[in-house]
A = this chain, B = another copy of it.
Amino acid sequence: MSTITHVNPDDLHKNPAFSQGTIVETRRLLFVGGQNGIDAEGKIEGDALQPSKQALRNVLNVLNVAGATQADVARLGIYFTMDVDIYAAYEASNEVWGDYPTAITVLRVAALGRPEAKVEIEAVAALR
């Protein structure tokens, strides 16, 4: 059973890729800091697609260590620079993340904290 209740009002536009809102009912929340797609050696490899996947793998890693899965994620913040093909990035992300819609905020920013990064993904999850 997921810890998240999805809220999708009937009269709001539907998109299977995300939920309009999520409700968490828990005393324990996990905040996953912004992941740039840095690998275990601290490097960002490849164009934007590989780091997008690596960023989500890092989010999944933190979720896993905390005892959660992507089904427990209440919010994803997804931040891209302007030179990323956002649809290609979504497709790449889907390979890693799978079909787990949640409440998302997607922004195109001037840059990320790490100068060479093109993507940053943060999460909030409910823990049991």
Contacts and interface: CB of A to CB of B under 8 A. Distances in A.
A71 interface: no
Interface string A59-81: 00110111000000011011101
A114 B15 CA distance: 13
Copies assembled: 3
Interface residues of A, number: 59
A21 B32 CA distance: 4
A65 B9 contact: yes
A48 interface: no
Interface of A: 7, 9, 11-13, 18-35, 38-42, 58, 61-62, 64-66, 74-75, 77-79, 81-82, 86, 102-114, 120, 122, 124, 127
